[in-house]
Amino acid sequence: MSNILGLDVGSKTIGLASSTGNVAKKEINLKFEEWNFEEGVSLLTEFIKDKSFDTFVFGYPKNMNGTIGERAEMVDYFIEGFMVYNPEIKEEQIIRIDERRTTKMAKSIMIEAGLSRQKQKENKDTLAAQLILETYLEKIKK
């Protein structure tokens, strides 16, 4: 059974979700100083230390026309740092999944569920990571 981590990387948070089968479950939201990706990578490295993830599914926010923009480049930069901190992780373990609209979908789901603005803020990144991971699980199921 594969142990997969889904990640929604932002400029000051990383939403995490995991799966050991066909269902993605929310994990935690890692918070770091804005644009301090070294701190973010360090927190993520600490989170995965005692877990045996085989695959890391990063949300890859392409532009609406499918091109690579600033946000996707930010994710690439983060992945580079992550791999430097974790040399045992190989490039083939890193998956980039187009995540256009996942944060908006997450927000919509939480509004529909009646969550307060505070709860939405606390949960949007982990829910986005869950949606990213579910997209990947659906893709590999086909």
The predicted-structure confidence for 36-89, as pLDDT tens digits, reads as follows 999 999 999 999 999 999 999 999 998 888 889 999 999 999 999 999 999 999
Alpha helices, H only, 12-116: 37-48, 70-85, 102-112
Three-class DSSP category at 39: helix
Handedness of CA 137, 102, 107, 73 (dihedral sign): positive
Domains of the chain: 4-141 (3.30.420.140)
Token match 């791999």: residue?
Answer: 83
The predicted-structure confidence for 19-31, as pLDDT tens digits, reads as follows 998 899 999 999 9
